[in-house]
Structure 1
C-alpha cells in the first residue's frame, strides 16, 4: 500500500532549504522560451454546484471520505480577476489551466452551460488582456460523473466521441484566444496508478468493481484514441481552414528511473518499467506511453507480456494515433529505483512489468531528494531516443507543509536547481520550449491536503481565501523579470516580517 501511494501521489517533495546562488538568469534562455505557472480547474475554482456545474468523479471521490473537499477550493471562480492580477504583477509569460468539462457541458454531452462558457471566456480574456498566454488542458482528471455512471467513463469507447465533441466546443469558443491545447493530463497515471477499479468506477469510491488486469489497458487505449480524434478534428476543422493556428499535444507523467543495483536483472527491469510506465503512451523505449504516438502501436515488450489483454489498434487507428501531437507536455516529480521482480503475480497491470518501484534515497510521500539531474537525464533521453520533439514542462514543483513559514527557502532551492537543469538541457540541444511551475497558489490537493505547492499561500480557513506571497513568489518574480542577483533583490524589496512569518492556522 505504501508503494502504491508513493506512485499515485504527485505530492512528492524535498526537505532542503538554504540560499541559492545566482549563477544564471532568465536572459540566458533562448528568445521565446516560456515561463509560467499552473493550476487545474477542480483544485482552484471551487463553486462546484454553482451556475449549472454538475459533479465530476473527483467531486465524488473527495466527498467519499470524512476529510476536506474541493467545494470552495481557492474560490477562483469568483476571484479570478484578483489572481490574474497577481500573475501579471509576478511577470508570468503563461498560465497552464484546465477546463472543467462538467462546468462547460454539465452532463458530459448535450447542451453547453452558458454560465460556464461565460466564465471561461472571461478568464481567458483576462489573461490575454494582461499579456499572459493561456495553455489549456482539456481534461485534468475530472471526468463528468454522469458519463462515469452511464457507461463507465474511459473504459467504454463511447468516451471517444463525447470527448471529441467537448473539445470541439472548446476549440470553437476559445480557439481565437488559445494557441496551445493539451488534450488529456497524465493518461499513463490515470490508467495505471488509479487502476481502473478506483478512478474509473463510481468516481473513485467503489473499489469492488473493475478488472485491473484489463481495464487500465482499455482506459489508456481509449484516451489515446480520444486524443488522436481531437487532434485530427483541430487540424482538419480549424487549422486547415485557417480559422485557428494553434498546437495540440498530450501531457505525460514522466518518471526518471535508475536500477536499484548494477545487476543485469535490475538493468532489464528498469527498461521494462520505462516501457510500461512511459513507453506505453508515446515513444520508443522510455516514453512508451509515447510509443503509439510515434509508431502507431505499443512496445513489443508490452505485447509479449500482456498478450491478448492489450488492445490492438486497427490500421486506421494506428495511422490516426501516429504523429498526432504537435508537442509533448511533461510532468516531472519523482525519481525512483527499479528492481527485478523475479516471481511476479500474473494478470494485472501493476505486476505485468515484472519490476518493483522503490523510492529513491530518503524519499517519502512528501519528502524527496533534490535531484535536478533526473530532469536533465529525462530530457536528454527524449532527445536521443524520440526525435527531439518540442517539449513543454507543464508541471514541476515542490510541496511544503501548508502551515509552515512563508519563508519557503527549500522551494526556491528546488526551482533554482531544476530550472538550471532545463537550461543545461536547452544548451545541449533539447527542444524544450517552456517551464511551468506547479502551482501558482496553494490548491486543494486531493492526495495530501496538508502539503501544498503554491508560490502564494491561501488561507483555507478564511471565507475570503486570502492570498499571501511566499518568499518563492518573490524569487520567481525576480527571476522572471531578468534580475541577475535575485538574492540581493529579495533582501532589499521584501518586508522583514515575511521571512519569519508563520501562516495563520
Structure 2
C-alpha cells in the first residue's frame, strides 16, 4: 500500500506549473476599485416607513404593471438589515458599495423639508460602510422620481425638474459629501426616456400609437428627447454646483452612469452594419457626445431635426467635460436590423427613437428572451469610448448574470454560471486596460437579490441570495460570492483546476 499512497500524494502535488499569465487583482492598475451595487428602490424596502412617500415606480408597481405584478414594498429590506449587509460586504472583501439615495425618502415632498429619518438612515449606512473600510459610491437619482413631482408638473417633461433635482443634489452633497467621495448624478438617462416616454413600458407610462400601447397620454416622437434633454441639463447643473461649491473642501469626484448596451449588425449586409453604428450613436453618443463635445451627435441632429432640443452656448459649455469619470452598466449586445426610411413631414422624419435611427426596435429581443452576453462586447464598448470620446475614465458600474430558477422560491447556493460569466468579463476588462482603456473600477450587479426593474423577482442577480418568502428576508452566500471574495483577496481570476492524471509528471522526470 505504501507505494500506491506515495504515488497518490505525488499526483496531488506534482502538477504542471500554473500559467505565468494567470490574472489576479494585483494585475489591475493601482487604485482600481472592485465592488458590488444596488439601488434604493430595488433593495431598501420600507416603502411607507419613516416618512418616505411614493415614487413613480411605487405607483407603477402598485397598479400591477411590474413583470409579475409584485411590488418593492419590502424587497430585500436593506433599510432594516444594512448592518448585516455591510458585514457581508466586509467579509467578501469589497472595496466599495454602490447604492443610491431615495429622493422620496430624503425629501418626501420632492422639494423643501428634509426628512430626519431619511437623513439618519443614509448617515448610518455611510458610516457603517466607512467603519468597515468600504468606500461609499452614491448615485443621486436612480429612476425613483417622487410621485408628487410627476403629478405636479409631469416630472422629466418639465424644466422645473432641473431646479428640484439640483436642490436634492445639494442636500446630498451638503449632508454626505464629507464622507462620500464618489458621486453619480444620474443612472442610465439614455434608456429611462425610452421606456417611460417612447414604448410606455415603464413609469410614467407615456407613449403614442403605434410605438406603444395602453399609455396614459404622451408623444413618442418628441417626449423621449425632451426628457433626456432635461436629464442632461440636470446633470450639468449638479456637476457645476459640486465643482463650484463642494469639490475643493470635500475632495470628491463626480460623474454620470449610462447604460452600455453594445449594438452589432444582425447580418453581414452593409445596411445592418450602418444601422448598428447609428444605434451606438443614438444609444451611447446621445449623452457621451454632449459630455465630450458639447452637442448631440450629428447623426441625431440630422435625423431627428427640430424635435431634438437645442443646446445653448451656455449649456454646451457646462456640459463639455462635466465628468470626472463615466460609469457604464453593461450586460449584453443587441443585434440590429436596418429599417426602411419613413416619409418626411415638414422636412423631418416621422416616428419614434428607433424609427429616427432607421432600425427595427432591438428591444423586442429582450422581450422575447433572445439575450446575448458575449464578453468581447465589453471590449468593443471600451474601445469605442477610447477612440471616439478621448478615452474617458470609466467605471463599470453594473455587470452581472441573472438566473431564473424553475422554482422561483428555490434557495440555490451553486451558481457556477455566474462565476464563469464574471471571470470572462473581468478577463476582457483586464485586456482592455492593457490595450489602453482608462477603466478604473468594476462593480458586480448585484450585491443582493433585489427587485429588478425589468424582471421583478423572476430574475436573480445577487452574489448573495435573499429568501424573499421569509419574513426576515434571510441572506445566504452563493458560490459566486465566495469566488469573488477569493479573487479580491489575491486569488487567481481562474483558479487552476484540480490535478488530472494527464497533468501529473513522473517523479523521475
TM-score of the two chains, using structure 1 as the length reference? 0.87
CA separation of 1:164 and 1:75: change in aligned 2, threshold 3 A = same
Gaps of 5+ in 2: 1-18, 208-212, 344-349, 500-509
Deviations 1:209-254 (A, max 9, x none): 1111111000000000000000000000112xx3211111011101
Q: Residue 487 of structure 1: CA displacement? A: 4.8
Q: Does 1:247 align with 2:225?
A: no
Cross-structure match for 1:211: 219
SS in 1 for 2:183: strand
Deviations 1:22-61 (A, max 9, x none): 9322121121110000000011100011000000011111
Match of 2:231 among 209, 218, 223: 223
Matches within 5 A, 1:154-233: 154-195=156-197, 197=200, 199=202, 201=204, 207-233=215-241
Mapped to 2, the partners of 1:490 and 1:180 lie a distance apart of 41
SS in 1 for 2:174: helix
Deviations 1:111-144 (A, max 9, x none): 0000000000000000011000011110111100
Contact 2:196-2:204 within 8 A present in 1 as well: no
**Deviates further, 349-358 or 384-393:** 349-358
Matches within 5 A, 1:462-501: 462-484=470-492, 487=495
Deviations 1:421-460 (A, max 9, x none): 1000111111000000000011112321211100111001
Q: Does 1:330 align with 2:328?
A: yes
SS in 2 for 1:243: helix
SS in 2 for 1:429: coil
Contact 1:259-1:338 within 8 A present in 2 as well: yes
Q: Does 1:315 align with 2:323?
A: no
Match of 2:275 among 269, 274, 288: 269
Q: Residue 489 of structure 1: CA displacement? A: 11
**Deviates further, 160-169 or 477-486:** 477-486
Q: Residue 193 of structure 1: CA displacement? A: 3.3
Cross-structure match for 2:39: 40
Mapped to 2, the partners of 1:202 and 1:264 lie a distance apart of 35
Cross-structure match for 2:246: 238
Mapped to 1, the partners of 2:265 and 2:493 lie a distance apart of 39
CA separation of 1:95 and 1:261: change in aligned 2, threshold 3 A = same
Match of 2:351 among 347, 350, 359: 347
The count of residues paired between Structure 1 and Structure 2 equals 460
TM-score of the two chains, using structure 2 as the length reference? 0.86
Q: Residue 86 of structure 1: CA displacement? A: 0.2
Q: Residue 259 of structure 1: CA displacement? A: 1.5
Q: Residue 200 of structure 1: CA displacement? A: 5.5
Q: Residue 356 of structure 1: CA displacement? A: 2.1
Contact 2:331-2:373 within 8 A present in 1 as well: no
Larger radius of gyration: 2
Cross-structure match for 1:499: none
Question: What's the C-alpha RMSD, in Å, of the aligned pairs?
Answer: 2.3
Gaps of 5+ in 1: 1-20, 282-289, 492-505
CA separation of 1:87 and 1:365: change in aligned 2, threshold 3 A = farther
Q: Residue 347 of structure 1: CA displacement? A: 2.6
CA separation of 1:372 and 1:34: change in aligned 2, threshold 3 A = same
Cross-structure match for 1:93: 95
Deviations 1:272-305 (A, max 9, x none): 1111111111xxxxxxxx1111111111111111
Matches within 5 A, 1:320-399: 320-344=318-342, 346-358=350-362, 368-399=371-402
Q: Does 1:133 align with 2:142?
A: no
